[in-house]
A and B are shown apart, each in its own frame.
Chain A
């Protein structure tokens, strides 16, 4: 086995996996705290990439600023979606909430196609084509950035949930929404903040991954599927689980695609999650209800 190729595939897998982790973190927060399976999460990823593109091209802002603006704007859109759809439905059956998120996903994806045009676009980033050689491994600066920014973001999210006042409110709501409400926690506010955080994270991942590929209005489908696989495999509501599951999925896909069959790359990923769920039905890092 050629070590250079092996190391390169591992590196590719880690970067792809970290992108999955970023997408999955928002999803797992929304599920862990609010018990909502949000199929529109991928569309917020798509919006994040597109808003980064438009802020960059229309207003001439540099890539980093555009990414930050896009995360804030999409966080606002997430709050609006919560107000209009998820908050009013909070007491309804889970299938109803799920279908409403599916409807929202269709709405944003088709609206996006109408608004942004069907032509693929490319998010310009100064790091996209700059190649870094780390030992025998070749990565673009952008891909290194995806990994580094994800690590920083995850640490920030972890500290936020652990130590901030809102983080504590989120955890309390995750464990027992009615009990949390009794102790005077404003559940509505927790909903709002959780959605803002989750959608902002989705947008950030879109802005980060955007320059490594082309963007088009249906990229959200891909993102939400990968996100869900990671979330379920890691354990619903578990940020730590998402981290491990995401990296594992990325590396296994990359090695499976590289050494077994490229065509079956996705299937290998699915086979892994089936194996994990049959072994541990609640995912790798799940013990009980709550946010970890």
Chain B
């Protein structure tokens, strides 16, 4: 029960306090490339933050085992807690840049944090935003900013097609989290699904702090919609919602929001996620060459199953490592790194990434389904 988290966190603490020592030979002279990983390490998003950190650390281990970046420099990850709050995200970014003098930053798991953090890092330091889906993150021109996850518009464009053509409910009701993303999801899907003839019967917004959803689900059930679409980022809230949908006696279809399916969620939800669809850029049976070594490292180091969030952490580290190498090895040559990332395809665990001029990545998205408590990709 002390688990890997304790060890992991202890390791992170060591990484913070002790400058990397112990390497021998010629490599010892090379200072590490220091990357700040700012994420929700406590509070309601702590589990998601932990998954992202694990994914990033496993990838750093893979890269370091192969000799690191820029001809022998190791990657060193420094962890910061943003508690899922924009204010703490700003403070963490300030500390990373001004006190710890890091070379690059990974952050932005939640949209609200990403939106405020980018103002601190704007044009000062290479910043990779991970899971946030809010369009504004990459809309506002920030020459060193990159965002990995597909925007909610890109996700919904893909996923709504699958809903219209494969899942085919006649009517739908929404159960969305009350934040920018949950509200955006409602707008996008209402438009897209109405467009293909699905009747939208209603919606409920729940709060990020809610623990029980029976009241909302009783209301949604009484709408008699063919399907209930659940937009939940937080794993514990998601699992409670999926279980309680079944417990209220709802017998229609359940549709999970894109990008929010992970093995822990499936485990916690019991049988209530069986046959449920979602969309995800990450599948374990992908073909990317770097996927296998990362999966092996991840399974060796951590007890959680590899997930999309973990893969985003890995992808962020890969992107930065690739950028440094492509720009000639100097992690502070921000203009060169940004230009290199925007001009060529970046090979990652989820396939090749291409960044737009604004730093927005395009990811291949796959339709996935839970079958016998496994997340499998659905291919025609």
Contacts and interface: CB of A to CB of B under 8 A. Distances in A.
Interface string B238-250: 0110011011110
A166 B44 CA distance: 41
Q: Which of A120, A219, A266 has the most CB of B within 10 A?
A: A120
Interface string A149-185: 0000000000000000000000000000000000000
A100 interface: no
B247 A131 contact: yes
A238 interface: no
A9 B5 contact: no
B268 interface: yes
B268 A5 contact: no
B230 to A, nearest CB: 14
B192 interface: no
Nearest to A12: B214
A181 B204 CA distance: 56
B212 A258 contact: no
B42 interface: yes
B207 interface: yes
Given A9-B215, A253-B215, A254-B215, A115 B206 contact: no
A54 B2 CA distance: 12
Nearest to A13: B215
A192 B311 CA distance: 51
Contacts of A140: 247
B239 A122 contact: yes
A120 B268 contact: yes
Interface string B241-274: 0011011110000000000000010001011100
A73 interface: no
B374 interface: no
Interface in A9-23: 9, 12-13, 16
Nearest to B223: A5
B219 interface: yes
Interface in A255-284: 257-258, 262-263, 265-266
Contacts of A216: 44, 46-47, 236
B43 interface: yes
Contacts of B236: 120, 214-216
B263 to A, nearest CB: 11
Interface centre among B5, B41, B44, B206 (most CB of A within 10 A): B5
B235 A120 contact: yes
Contacts of B1: 54, 58, 115-117
B344 interface: no
B47 A118 contact: yes
Residue among A16, A212, A215, A254 facing the most chain B CB atoms (10 A cut-off): A212
A138 interface: yes
Contacts of A62: none
Max chain A C-beta neighbours (<10 A), residue from B42, B47, B212, B235: B212
A27 B214 CA distance: 26
B99 interface: no
Nearest to B41: A118
A114 B215 contact: no
A185 B130 CA distance: 63
A214 B304 contact: no
Interface string B299-324: 00000100000000000000000000
A255 to B, nearest CB: 9
Contacts of A113: 42, 46
A92 interface: no
Given A262-B205, A262-B206, A257 B215 contact: yes
B229 to A, nearest CB: 16
Contacts of B243: 128-129
